[in-house]
Chain A
């Protein structure tokens, strides 16, 4: 409850911003281009925020965040095509598939150093890409799987916005709770964390599953919006974009990740004309941020704010 009160302001701000985004749809008279852009930006925000819980807070660098989304989307797609169950059941099945994929990469890397997790997550992405391209009869190969439109664009747009707001708020509450403290202590020093009695494998698993939960839901939303899922979701660039957005926005703050995800996702759309150079530019940006400002844009803003506040306080004492 104390956390809830302390985080009240940020929760209100998140709700206001989300409401503002939601209002843009009726204001633009349901312009499909705008709705599409905003939906994809919101999905990226969910991916990056979930990634931040793993990487920014627990120190498990995940190079394959979209793996969860991809597995969930493929699971729902396969059910939609071959075994049309009631829709909530199918979504639940997709969610479970996404969670299972998170177990697949987290279980082997619970007892080893966090650096190995990065490579396992990365290799997993490669393997799933190969699987979708090899068993063409099941996964459709290059073309992927497509279904006719089920939900209207408007419904999915509002769902995605609600999901985004819920993700940011829940993540924020988690990282400010005891769980978040435990995760941060694992990131800072595993030996000390173990010494004070933190069950490291349990907390790592928890972080992974929570992260996969929201990413899978977003993946399913994205699948219903596009009506399509293809092997490119397991491609290197998609998940790498999540990493870049998170790092540039600022890791370990949730808000930084949300900011980076939102802004860079919109930029991603506007950089379509120079698509060949986009990946190079993003990779360069990542290297620069890691070398110069490892705390990202949000971290830089926070430390600037704190410095000003300290200066003001000092002036207050002096006068």
Chain B
């Protein structure tokens, strides 16, 4: 049981990292709390479901299709709606993204149905690690997730564009003075966020049962990890925060009831906001 919690904790840490990074990156750069983030992950799950079961696409093509689909979706959301309200009060932005999230969810319910879907695994077979039986799918998820996080860290730390994005996060006005095109960085961040959400959805779909409701759950998880890590902090901070949330949820699920695992995330959210609003690794601003 201890090994099971430990191993599955690693899997969910990896996935929560992916979920939260896209959300927190966009929140940091553009100050947009994107409530559609969970819905984009959810629709990527459904794209995977439709491509694999409906059209019998191969693994590689469905992955690419799912990622392209979620990037397109988030670009439509940004260019069509969010961009026009960037200077509006934050209430309008929250209302807008909440409305859009509901529209996406309702469209999925109307077209695919609200019943639970099981997405077949993309690769078969299993491995036993520390006497815990894992499917190769789960191992693939961990590998892909950590590879993506490493790639993202490299991009943000080493490339010129990555530095520009971090500059906009830290101080938008100074970045503008230095000749950084903030609007362009928003679009780049949006695309990164879309890719992360798409991959997260595709990796989660075969592991978990898929319902239209998971969109909201993913969003709450992303938000919890984001504020626990704190804004403007390093990316490894997000990894640590994701690990804390993942293990807290797993232990709750094992010891009390599987249905209450969001409760654990919620307790973490409340405690963070009450006692350390700037997060574990955040700098300054709340």
- Chain B residues with Cβ below 8 Å from A118 are 33, 94
A109 to B269, CA, bound (A): 10
Q: Interface readout for A177-213 with B: 1 if CB under 8 Å, 0 if not? A: 0000000000000000000000000000000000000
The yes or no answer to A287 lying at the interface (CB within 8 A) is yes
Whether A280 pairs with B107 at a CB distance below 8 angstroms is yes
Quick one: given A116-B273, A287-B96, A290-B85, are A279 and B106 in contact (CB under 8 Å)?
Answer: yes
The yes or no answer to B160 lying at the interface (CB within 8 A) is no
B217 closest partner in A (C-beta): A126
Segment with Cβ contacts to A, from B14-22, B46-54, B196-204, B260-268: B260-268
- Chain B residues with Cβ below 8 Å from A134 are 257, 259-260
Quick one: given A124-B266, A126-B217, A287-B103, are A294 and B259 in contact (CB under 8 Å)?
Answer: no
Whether A131 pairs with B263 at a CB distance below 8 angstroms is yes
Whether B262 pairs with A243 at a CB distance below 8 angstroms is no
Q: Interface readout for A102-143 with B: 1 if CB under 8 Å, 0 if not? A: 001001110111111011101110110011011000000000
The yes or no answer to A223 lying at the interface (CB within 8 A) is no
The yes or no answer to B110 lying at the interface (CB within 8 A) is yes
Whether A247 pairs with B95 at a CB distance below 8 angstroms is yes
B277 closest partner in A (C-beta): A112
A105 to B18, CA, bound (A): 27
Whether A131 pairs with B94 at a CB distance below 8 angstroms is no
> What's the interface size class on B, roughly?
35 or more
- Chain A residues with Cβ below 8 Å from B220 are 119, 122-123, 126
Q: How far, in Å, is A259 (CB) from chain B's closest CB?
A: 18
Q: Interface readout for A50-63 with B: 1 if CB under 8 Å, 0 if not? A: 00000100010101
The yes or no answer to B216 lying at the interface (CB within 8 A) is yes
The DSSP consensus for interface residues of chain A is helix
The DSSP consensus for interface residues of chain B is helix
The yes or no answer to B153 lying at the interface (CB within 8 A) is no
> What's the interface size class on A, roughly?
35 or more
- Chain A residues with Cβ below 8 Å from B95 are 61, 243, 247, 286, 290
Q: How far, in Å, is B161 (CB) from chain A's closest CB?
A: 27
Whether B99 pairs with A283 at a CB distance below 8 angstroms is yes
B261 closest partner in A (C-beta): A130
Q: How far, in Å, is B269 (CB) from chain A's closest CB?
A: 6
- Chain A residues with Cβ below 8 Å from B109 are 276
The yes or no answer to A156 lying at the interface (CB within 8 A) is no
Q: How far, in Å, is A238 (CB) from chain B's closest CB?
A: 13
A172 to B107, CA, bound (A): 38
A109 to B88, CA, bound (A): 22
Whether A127 pairs with B91 at a CB distance below 8 angstroms is no
A243 to B85, CA, bound (A): 18
Q: Which of A108, A247, A276 contacts B110 (CB 8 A)?
A: A276
- Chain A residues with Cβ below 8 Å from B270 are 104, 108, 120
Q: Which of B102, B269, B274 contacts A123 (CB 8 A)?
A: B269
A105 closest partner in B (C-beta): B270
Whether A113 pairs with B92 at a CB distance below 8 angstroms is no
Whether B96 pairs with A280 at a CB distance below 8 angstroms is no
A283 to B98, CA, bound (A): 9
- Chain B residues with Cβ below 8 Å from A122 are 216, 220
Q: Interface readout for A39-77 with B: 1 if CB under 8 Å, 0 if not? A: 000000000000000010001010100000000000000
The yes or no answer to A83 lying at the interface (CB within 8 A) is no
A182 to B214, CA, bound (A): 39
- Chain A residues with Cβ below 8 Å from B274 are 107-108
- Chain B residues with Cβ below 8 Å from A111 are 273, 277, 286
Q: Interface readout for B241-266 with A: 1 if CB under 8 Å, 0 if not? A: 00000000000000001011011011
Whether A240 pairs with B89 at a CB distance below 8 angstroms is no
Whether A61 pairs with B273 at a CB distance below 8 angstroms is no
B residues near A, CB below 8 A? 33, 81, 84-85, 88-92, 94-96, 98-100, 102-103, 106-107, 109-110, 216-217, 220, 223-224, 227, 257, 259-260, 262-263, 265-266, 269-270, 273-274, 277, 286
**Which A-B residue pairs are the 4 nearest by beta carbons?**
A283-B102, A108-B273, A280-B106, A286-B99
